[in-house]
């Protein structure tokens, strides 16, 4: 941090009425400045708690993410996020059924649903849902891309797109953009439902 | 039984066409469905001495249509209600085929199931309990091997006895489960109007509405209070979403698939001792869609089709041409001998025989090209070719399958315009059709050879190559522009089956080639013949003028239009007449210039520089490259699009592009100080 950076930052804060600063004097926060600082601090603490305490992300990483988010959050999103955090924390303290299920699900983080196009060739998945719209959606569903069916990603075309899949005993070809609308889970084990 | 109609339906690649051929033999009629470019095949079948029509519907996987031909098939099945539907299913892949069967039974159509390809199923150790299938679905099942004609006699017998009975329609009830059934029933109570509109029972109307069927949604708007039902639907959808985690449409189709899977599980048993080895198909695929070999192989295959088509077609076309001009010459000689008027002689030789000639010379190329296309499609390679090429063709806003017609266009635009039939979606097809005329066909080469050879000497090769590139560039730009203006919106999709490879059947291949060729002769032939006669009339009248001279109508027309070409540097009547004659076939431009310019035994190459500068020669070649290819292309275009308006558009816009670019070449060239 250079002297210039500090000076220009101070000037900006003074300009916004958040800081009192006489030349060569000690800078002091104004009343408005103090309120703003406290609000960001509260946000930071809440977010850090959400990421580390509830979602189980390591302390340092959690704080880093909280730092990234806290400055870009508007008031409404903040208050809703705080209420959610509060509710989750309460449920976990009391050990309710849903909170236990949530904790279990969180520990199986590998089972996140993903678009079919994200699998590697040779990979297999169980279909969760189709997010395409209009005629393509209907076509995919009626071709058998329905929840529960297994689909095998066989290979990519020599130029990388389209993809060759195997579904219900037939080889099908889908463009990557089309395959991105089919959400799958790993072929084995539990998978969180997709709420998209 | 007479006058009854059997519709033939089934998934693509299940041997539907083979069965159609085996049933109806040569008694087929190929045409188009009204208003669209999708091919309609109808055949006649004699059952116990009575005539029955068989309509071959485009291959579909379900009743929900995504493309024009699927739309036709499902509309036909839903609205026309044929007396009997013959569904072809693939025994080696019963589960996929059964979805359509269940859907058709659900709407209460009387079905006969042709259980095809049992040999493949057996080889894979699959046993199908035919009796169970009949009982569970309420259908008649007849095993067939359509490719060899086995079981067709038995099938005819069953069809005959079924058509004699009164086929009361029973609706198969698909179990939609404890969550959906009450919702469906609740909706069914409200959709009485819609059900009458669709002539389906209320429960089915509700289901079709729930799965967002286009026809049902459109019919809903025609009922009295569509908003009321829409509100109910939204509520039902929210309820399903909350309990299942996905929407009503998905839920209904998922339940139907679950029913299909349970059916398949009950009727198919697998012999566990037969091990599913790597099939030959897989082994071929390893090479054909190999990461490095795939693309060169497609190009090689396409190049081979191109080469062999013209290798076989050229001598045949030349032979036909020689035969006809020999015939013309001897006829002219004979007419001269008996003292017939020169006008009659010219009419018969230049008009009639010339006209017939300009039609039949296309036959060999069309025949061979479609034989190869049939080989590629029948073997399963076409789908792989499209799979490999799709990425490249998509850069042009086209579908993977477009590469074949575009490539063939370098040989001759006429068969390539007919080859756009392999494109299922109207948008892809129209764009391909509209840019094809810019692809430089072999008939334009003589024009290039003459002018480039005369004016550019050693650089002739480069000049000709630049014209080919120009044609491609114009086609690419036109495809881009058309795709973002006239044909936007309708997004193209690539949900396509890659069928197992099998050996193409020679009979089917020859049949397809013959059908295409004779269809061309019958349909496009008339128009081309008429165009030739019209040009002959214009060139020979008023009475007494020399054929195609300045005094003839075409000469006067040339003189009138010459001014139009002045900004491009060749504003004299002979050039205009040559271009007008070029409408018969591009190579005629060379012959016409020869007749008109090289008089008194002077060589055309020697006189050309008196009329053209190298710059205006290049502008003339640009014009010849890009303006409307020939009468045969126009005829084929009209035949494929079934629209005179689009045909007129094609003629006008290609000519406008050609004129604009040749003027641009000449004017920019002059500004740059070229001459």
| A146 interaction partners in chain B (CB closer than 8 Å) | 250, 253-254, 257
Cβ–Cβ of B62/A142 closer than 8 Å?
yes
Sign of CA dihedral B196, B200, B201, B207: negative
| B497 interaction partners in chain A (CB closer than 8 Å) | 170-173
Task: Select from A158, A169, A171 the Cβ nearest to the Cβ of B291.
Answer: A158
Domain definitions of chain B by residue range: 5-164, 177-253
Residue B36's pLDDT band, with cuts at 50, 70 and 90, is low
| A138 interaction partners in chain B (CB closer than 8 Å) | 64, 66, 211-212, 249
Q: Terminal CA-to-CA distance of chain B, rounded, Å?
A: 77
Task: Select from B61, B249, B388 the Cβ nearest to the Cβ of A157.
Answer: B388
Round to whole Å and give the CA distance between B316 and B513. Answer: 15
For the ranges B123-127, B258-262, B559-563, which has the lowest average pLDDT? B559-563
Peptide bond into B395 cis (omega under 30): no
Radius of gyration (C-alpha) of chain B in whole angstroms: 30
Mean pLDDT of B438-444: 83
Round to whole Å and give the CA distance between B329 and B336. Answer: 10
CA distance A106 to chain B (A): 19
> B585 to each of A103, A142, B118, B198, B528, how far by Cα in Å?
77, 48, 51, 52, 10
What phi and psi values does residue A96 have, to the nearest 5 degrees? -65, 165
Residue B597's pLDDT is 74
CA distance A178 to chain B (A): 8
Q: Identify the residue among A113, A127, A132, A142 best suited for mutation to test binding to B, counting B beta carbons within 10 A and taking the highest.
A: A142
Is it the case that residue A194 has pLDDT exceeding 50?
no
Task: Select from B96, B390, B499 the Cβ nearest to the Cβ of A157.
Answer: B390
Q: Which two tokens stand for residue B639?
A: 């035949």
What phi and psi values does residue B474 have, to the nearest 5 degrees? -65, -40
User: Nearest CA to B623 among B492, B477, B470, B491?
Assistant: B470
- Cα B352 vs. chain centroid, distance in angstroms? 30
Among all residues of chain B, which has the CA nearest to that of A174?
B495
Q: What is the mean pLDDT of chain B?
A: 83
Beta bridge partners of B55: B7, B42
Mean pLDDT of B521-541: 75
Cβ–Cβ of A173/B498 closer than 8 Å?
yes
Report yes or no: A148 at the B interface, CB cutoff 8 Å.
yes
Task: Select from B61, B245, B250 the Cβ nearest to the Cβ of A143.
Answer: B61
3-state secondary structure of B663: helix
ipTM value, please give it: 0.80
Cβ–Cβ of B66/A138 closer than 8 Å?
yes
Is it the case that residue B150 has pLDDT exceeding 90?
no
Torsion of CA B509, B510, B512, B518, to 10 degrees: 160
Round to whole Å and give the CA distance between B520 and B636. Answer: 7
DSSP state of B523: H
CA distance B287 to chain A (A): 11
Residue B34's pLDDT is 61
B644-671 helix and B460-484 helix, angle to the nearest 10 degrees: 130
Q: Which residue has the higher pLDDT, A193 or B278?
A: B278
Tell me which fold the domain B5-164 belongs to: Rossmann fold (3.40.50)
Report yes or no: A101 at the B interface, CB cutoff 8 Å.
no
User: Nearest CA to B82 among B107, B60, B110, B106?
Assistant: B110
| B392 interaction partners in chain A (CB closer than 8 Å) | 159
Residue B600's pLDDT is 59
Domain definitions of chain A by residue range: 6-100, 111-186
3-state secondary structure of B424: coil
One of 3.30.360.10, 1.10.10.10, 1.20.120.50, 3.40.50.300 is the CATH number of A6-100, namely 1.10.10.10
Cβ–Cβ of B495/A146 closer than 8 Å?
no
| A178 interaction partners in chain B (CB closer than 8 Å) | 493-495
3-state secondary structure of B189: coil
Report yes or no: A53 at the B interface, CB cutoff 8 Å.
no
CA distance B490 to chain A (A): 10
Residue B434's pLDDT band, with cuts at 50, 70 and 90, is very high
Residue B450's pLDDT is 82
| A142 interaction partners in chain B (CB closer than 8 Å) | 61-62, 64, 99, 253
3-state secondary structure of B208: helix
Mean pLDDT of B300-312: 81
Q: Which span out of A149-153, B9-13, B372-376 was modeled with the highest average pLDDT?
A: A149-153
Round to whole Å and give the CA distance between A105 and B384. Answer: 42
Residue A196's pLDDT band, with cuts at 50, 70 and 90, is very low
Checking B119-122 for CB contacts under 8 A at 24+ apart, the result is B119/B145, B120/B90, B120/B91, B120/B92, B121/B91, B121/B92, B121/B94
Round to whole Å and give the CA distance between B511 and B499. Answer: 21
Residue B490's pLDDT band, with cuts at 50, 70 and 90, is low
**Which residues does B contribute to its contact with A (CB < 8 Å)?**
61-62, 64-66, 93, 95-96, 99, 211-212, 245-246, 249-250, 253-254, 257-258, 289-295, 383, 387-388, 390-392, 394, 400, 491, 493-500
Among all residues of chain A, which has the CA nearest to that of B497?
A172
pTM of the complete model: 0.78
Residue B539's pLDDT band, with cuts at 50, 70 and 90, is confident
Q: Are the beta carbons of B533 and B581 closer than 8 angstroms? A: no
Q: What whole-number percentage of chain B has pLDDT above 90?
A: 17
| B93 interaction partners in chain A (CB closer than 8 Å) | 168-170
Maximum Cα–Cα distance across chain A: 79
Q: Identify the residue among B180, B391, B400, B497 best suited for mutation to test binding to A, counting A beta carbons within 10 A and taking the highest.
A: B391
Residues sharing a CB contact under 8 Å with residue A22, sequence separation 6 or more, in sequence order: none
Mean pLDDT of B546-563: 77
Cβ–Cβ of B390/A142 closer than 8 Å?
no
Could you please report the per-residue DSSP string of chain A? --HHHHHHHHHHHHHTTSEE--TTS--EE-HHHHHHHHHHHHHHHHHHIIIIIIT---HHHHHHHHHHHHTS--HHHHHHHHHHHHHHHHHHHHT-HHHHHHHHHHH-GGG--EEGGGSPTT-EEEEEEE---HHHHHHHHHTT--TT-EEEEEEE-TTS-SEEEEETTEEEEE-HHHHTTEEEEESSS--PPP--
Residue B214's pLDDT band, with cuts at 50, 70 and 90, is confident
Q: What whole-number percentage of chain A has pLDDT above 70?
A: 93
Cβ–Cβ of B246/A147 closer than 8 Å?
yes
Could you please report the per-residue DSSP string of A137-151? HHHHHHTT--TT-EE
Q: What whole-number percentage of chain A has pLDDT above 90?
A: 16
For B75, other C-beta atoms within 10 Å of its C-beta total 15
Residue A195's pLDDT is 43
Mean pLDDT of B135-149: 88
Is it the case that residue B68 has pLDDT exceeding 80?
no
Mean pLDDT of B316-344: 83
Residue A192's pLDDT is 55
Q: Which residue has the higher pLDDT, B665 or B529?
A: B665
Is it the case that residue B35 has pLDDT exceeding 60?
no
Could you please report the per-residue DSSP string of B261-277? HHHHHHHEEE-TTS---
CA distance A74 to chain B (A): 30
Mean pLDDT of A175-188: 86
CA distance B66 to chain A (A): 6
Report yes or no: A59 at the B interface, CB cutoff 8 Å.
no
What phi and psi values does residue A163 have, to the nearest 5 degrees? -115, 150
Residue A118's pLDDT is 86
3-state secondary structure of B32: strand
Cβ–Cβ of B253/A142 closer than 8 Å?
yes
Residue B85's pLDDT is 93
Q: Which residue has the higher pLDDT, A173 or B496?
A: A173
Q: Which residue has the higher pLDDT, B365 or B181?
A: B181
Q: Which two tokens stand for residue B165?
A: 């009975």
Q: Provide the CATH number for the domain formed by A111-186 in this structure.
A: 2.30.30.90
What phi and psi values does residue B184 have, to the nearest 5 degrees? -60, -45
Task: Select from A140, A158, A169 the Cβ nearest to the Cβ of B289.
Answer: A158
Q: Which residue has the higher pLDDT, B492 or B259?
A: B259
Residue B103's pLDDT band, with cuts at 50, 70 and 90, is very high
For the ranges B133-147, B555-569, B648-662, which has the lowest average pLDDT? B555-569
Mean pLDDT of B583-608: 74
Cβ–Cβ of A162/B390 closer than 8 Å?
yes
- Rounded to 5°, the CA angle B212-B218-B224 comes to 110
For the ranges A31-35, B353-357, B427-431, B432-436, which has the lowest average pLDDT? B353-357
Round to whole Å and give the CA distance between B210 and B382. Answer: 36
Cβ–Cβ of A139/B66 closer than 8 Å?
yes
Report yes or no: A178 at the B interface, CB cutoff 8 Å.
yes
DSSP state of B88: E
Residue B480's pLDDT is 86
Beta strands in B561-634 (DSSP E): none
Task: Select from A157, A164, A172 the Cβ nearest to the Cβ of B495.
Answer: A172
Could you please report the per-residue DSSP string of B210-246? HTT-HHHHHHHHTSS-HHHHHHHHHHHHHHHHHHHSS
Residue B10's pLDDT band, with cuts at 50, 70 and 90, is very high
């Amino acid at each position: 941090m250079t002297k210039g950076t500090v000076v220009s930052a101070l000037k900006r804060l003074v300009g916004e009425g958040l800081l009192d600063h006489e030349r060569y004097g000690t800078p002091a926060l104004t009343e408005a400045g103090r309120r703003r600082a406290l609000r960001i601090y509260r946000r930071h603490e809440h977010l850090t708690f959400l990421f580390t305490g509830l979602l189980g992300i390591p302390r340092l990483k959690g704080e880093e993410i909280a730092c990234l988010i806290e400055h870009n959050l508007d008031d409404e999103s903040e208050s809703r996020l705080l209420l959610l955090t509060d509710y989750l924390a309460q449920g976990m303290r009391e050990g309710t059924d849903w909170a236990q299920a949530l904790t279990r699900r969180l520990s199986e983080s590998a089972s996140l649903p993903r678009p079919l196009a994200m699998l590697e060739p040779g990979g297999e998945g169980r279909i969760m849902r189709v997010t395409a719209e209009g005629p393509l959606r209907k076509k995919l569903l009626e071709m058998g891309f329905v929840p529960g069916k297994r689909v095998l990603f066989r290979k990519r075309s020599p130029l990388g797109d389209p993809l060759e899949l195997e579904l219900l005993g037939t080889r099908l070809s889908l463009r990557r953009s089309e395959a991105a609308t089919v959400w799958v889970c790993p072929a084995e084990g539990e998978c969180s439902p997709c709420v998209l | 039984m007479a006058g009854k109609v059997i519709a033939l339906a089934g998934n693509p690649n299940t041997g539907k066409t083979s069965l159609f051929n085996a049933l109806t033999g040569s008694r087929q009629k190929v045409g188009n469905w009204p208003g669209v470019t999708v091919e309609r095949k109808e055949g006649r079948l004699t059952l116990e001495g009575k005539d029955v029509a068989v309509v071959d519907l485009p291959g579909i996987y379900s009743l929900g249509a995504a493309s024009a031909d699927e739309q036709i098939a499902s509309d036909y099945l839903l609205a026309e209600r044929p007396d009997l539907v013959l569904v072809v299913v693939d025994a080696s892949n019963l589960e996929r085929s059964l979805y359509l069967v269940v859907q058709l039974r659900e709407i209460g159509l009387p079905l006969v199931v042709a259980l095809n390809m049992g040999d493949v199923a057996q080889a894979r150790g699959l046993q199908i309990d035919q009796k169970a299938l009949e009982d569970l679905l309420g259908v008649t099942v007849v095993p067939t091997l359509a490719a060899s004609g086995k079981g067709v006699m038995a099938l005819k017998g069953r069809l005959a006895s079924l058509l004699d009975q009164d086929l009361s329609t029973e609706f198969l009830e698909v179990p939609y489960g404890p969550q959906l059934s009450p919702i469906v029933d609740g909706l069914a109570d409200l959709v009485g109007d819609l059900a009458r509109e669709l002539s389906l029972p209320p429960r089915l109307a509700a289901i079709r509405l729930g799965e967002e069927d286009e026809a049902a949604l459109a019919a809903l708007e025609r009922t009295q209070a569509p908003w009321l039902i829409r509100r109910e639907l939204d509520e039902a959808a929210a309820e399903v979403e909350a309990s299942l985690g996905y929407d009503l449409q998905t839920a209904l189709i998922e339940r139907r698939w679950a029913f299909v899977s349970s059916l398949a599980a009950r009727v198919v048993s697998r012999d566990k001792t037969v091990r599913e080895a790597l099939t030959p198909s897989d082994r071929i695929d390893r090479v054909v869609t190999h990461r490095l070999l795939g693309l060169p192989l497609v190009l090689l295959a396409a190049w081979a089709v191109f080469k062999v088509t013209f290798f076989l077609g050229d001598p045949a076309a030349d032979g036909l041409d020689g035969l006809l001009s020999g015939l013309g010459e001897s006829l002219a000689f004979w007419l001269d001998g008996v003292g017939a008027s020169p006008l009659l002689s010219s009419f018969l030789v230049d008009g009639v025989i010339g006209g017939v000639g300009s039609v039949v010379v296309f036959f060999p190329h069309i025949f061979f090209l479609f034989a190869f296309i049939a080989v590629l499609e029948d073997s399963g390679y076409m789908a792989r070719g499209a799979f490999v090429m799709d990425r490249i063709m998509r850069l042009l806003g086209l579908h993977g399958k477009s590469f074949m017609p575009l490539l063939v266009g370098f040989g001759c635009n006429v068969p390539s315009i007919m080859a756009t039939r392999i494109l299922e979606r109207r948008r892809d097809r129209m764009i391909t059709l509209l840019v094809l005329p810019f692809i430089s066909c072999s008939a334009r080469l003589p024009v290039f050879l003459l002018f480039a050879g005369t004016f550019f000497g050693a650089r002739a090769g480069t000049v000709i190559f630049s014209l080919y590139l120009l044609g491609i560039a114009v086609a690419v730009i036109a495809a881009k522009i058309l795709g973002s203006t006239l044909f936007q919106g309708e997004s193209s999709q690539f949900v396509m089956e890659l069928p197992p490879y099998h050996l193409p059947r020679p009979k089917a291949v020859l049949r397809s080639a013959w059908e295409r060729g004779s269809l061309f002769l019958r349909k496009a032939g008339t128009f081309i013949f008429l165009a030739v006669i019209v040009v002959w009339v214009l060139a020979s009248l008023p009475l007494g003028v020399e054929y195609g001279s300045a005094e003839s109508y075409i000469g006067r027309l040339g003189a009138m239009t010459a001014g139009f070409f002045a900004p491009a540097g060749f504003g004299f009547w002979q050039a205009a007449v040559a271009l007008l004659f070029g409408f018969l076939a591009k190579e005629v431009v060379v012959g016409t210039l020869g007749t008109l310019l090289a008089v008194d035994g002077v060589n055309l190459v020697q006189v050309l520089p008196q009329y053209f500068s190298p710059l205006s020669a290049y502008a003339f070649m640009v014009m010849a490259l890009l303006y409307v290819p020939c009468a045969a292309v126009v005829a084929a275009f009209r035949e494929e699009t079934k629209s005179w308006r689009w045909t007129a558009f094609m003629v006008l816009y290609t000519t406008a592009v050609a004129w604009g670019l040749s003027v641009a070449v000449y004017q920019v060239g002059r500004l740059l100080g070229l001459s």
